[in-house]
Amino acid sequence: MKYILGNWKANKNFIEVKQWIYTFQREYRANKNVVLGIFPPTPFISYVQGKLKDCKNVFVGSQTVSSFEKGSYTGEVTATSLDGVAEYSIIGHSERRRVFAETDEQLSEKVMQALAHNIVPVYCVRDEKDPIPNGVKFVAYEPIIAIGTGQNEPAAQTLMMKRKMKLPHDVVFIYGGSVNEKNASEYFSTGEIDGFLIGKASLDPKQFILIAETAK
Ligand code: PEP
């Protein structure tokens, strides 16, 4: 199975979300070997999930999850509140580590929260030095210099990093960093990269679908 995950980050207002969904519904053709994941800003998760619930092989996820279970934590997005709405959650994105100072310890707690609430963590690492918490079955390797720069890492280098990580065989390994419809197939031709976490190119539904088509 191949996984094409789109992280919209803090982009799009409600009108733009509706336009994205409209185009996506018109253009998307499911493929049994390809799963698509969409990670909208939190206020739109439920809306997007409702709109796409009948699209085969499409799921909706959260861009983050709290390390707290519930309670007096104003503004937090808890796994308790996401349970039954989001199937996956990105955890440890380099922007969360850098801008919001999330630590390895907090990230471990977030993974525990997600797992306790039936949410699959998509755990982001910057290189082989970032520890991966127990229970993680989905690793997104995202080299900092490739994120949002237009300079994707060559697939051969990505493969070398995968080897250094010594991941168990049942772990899904995806790459993120300036993936687009032109460079995507380079990764799949290695036979060892299971998909992508995509930022900018996922904001355009047509481009997102074109990338997914390279996985067939
Ligand atoms: C990301 O932020 O996870 C990412 C991979 O972004 P981009 O595709 O824009 O490089």
Q: In the annotation, is 93 catalytic?
A: yes
Whether the per-residue pLDDT at 216 is higher than 90: the answer is no
Per-residue pLDDT, averaged over 123-128, amounts to 98
Complete DSSP assignment for the chain: -EEEEEE-TT---HHHHHHHHHHHHHH---BTTEEEEEE--GGGHHHHHHHHTTSTTEEEEES---SS-SSS-TT---HHHHTTT-SEEEE--HHHHHHS---HHHHHHHHHHHHHTT-EEEEEESSTTS---TT--EEEE--GGGTTTS-PPPHHHHHHHHHHHT--TT-EEEEESS--TTTHHHHHTTS---EEEESGGGSSHHHHHHHHHTT-
Q: For residue 26, with 0-12 CB atoms within 10 Å meaning exposed, 13-18 middle and 19 or more buried, which class applies? A: exposed
List, for residues 157-196, the tens digit of each pLDDT value: 999 999 999 999 999 999 999 999 999 999 999 999 999 9
- Residue 90: per-residue pLDDT: 98
Per-residue pLDDT, averaged over 69-81, amounts to 97
For residue 147, give the ligand 1 atom closest to its CA: 10
Mean pLDDT in the chain? 97
User: Of residues 95, 102, 142, 153, which has the active-site annotation?
Assistant: 142
Q: What's the gap in Å between 176 CA and the centre of ligand 1? A: 6
Per-residue pLDDT, averaged over 203-210, amounts to 98
- Residue 55: per-residue pLDDT: 96
